[in-house]
Amino acid sequence: MRESGDGKALHVVGHEVVAAVDEGMRAGRAQERQRSARAHPQREQRGDAGGLDEGHEFHVVFGVRYVHDLIYRSLIEKWEREHSNFHFYPTISRPETPDWKGRVGYVQKVIENEITDYGNKQVFICGLHDMVEDVKNLCQRLGFAYVRFEKWD
């Protein structure tokens, strides 16, 4: 994985990517989404996944407290339906409704139990400080090929 010249975009180089995110990403990602919409209005209108068909596997582990906090859920689920190499793992730590039939718990549990072949994967972790630290330490202990993180609090 390498950064683009502006330090904003990440490009996969030879490995699978796991993104572990939580609700702390909301403010920062909203600002980035606005910039992206201005720079690529057609992509934004189409809900374009941009780059998903380039031969890499993508795993997004998205943890939030409540179901209503799963921002961009319908868009991410659309990408999963349309791209066989894109995998979405939403997990809720405090489901507020009995209608939620998905994963319950934290992203750490999903990474340990559902992601495999750590040494061939890179991970990008984004979220609140404690979650980022816990997941970073877990991923380093599991032997991920590359660990990168951002904290939003």
Q: How many CB atoms are closer than 10 A to CB 57?
A: 18
Strands 10-11 and 2-3: antiparallel
Task: Give the C-alpha distances (Å, rounded to integers) separating 48 from 9, 21, 44, 53.
Answer: 16, 20, 6, 11
* Domains assigned to the chain: 2-151 (3.40.50.80)
For 66, residues 6+ apart whose C-beta sits below 8 A from its C-beta are 92, 94, 95, 96
Q: How far apart are CA 73 and CA 137, in angstroms?
A: 27
Tokens 């690529």 belong to 40
What does the pLDDT look like over 68-102, one tens digit per residue?
999 889 999 999 999 999 999 999 999 999 999 99
Instruction: Look up the pTM and report it.
Output: 0.72
Strand partners, 17: 58, 122
Condensed to tens digits (0 to 9), the pLDDT of residues 23-38 reads 544 444 444 544 545 5
pLDDT tens-digit map of 93-131: 999 999 999 999 999 999 999 999 899 899 999 888 899
Using CA atoms of 11, 14, 15, 18 in order, give the dihedral in degrees to the nearest 10.
10
pLDDT (mean) for 127-137? 92
Predicted pLDDT at 81: 95
Pair of tokens at residue 129? 């400080």
Closest to 148 in 3D by CA, of 54, 28, 4, 10: 10
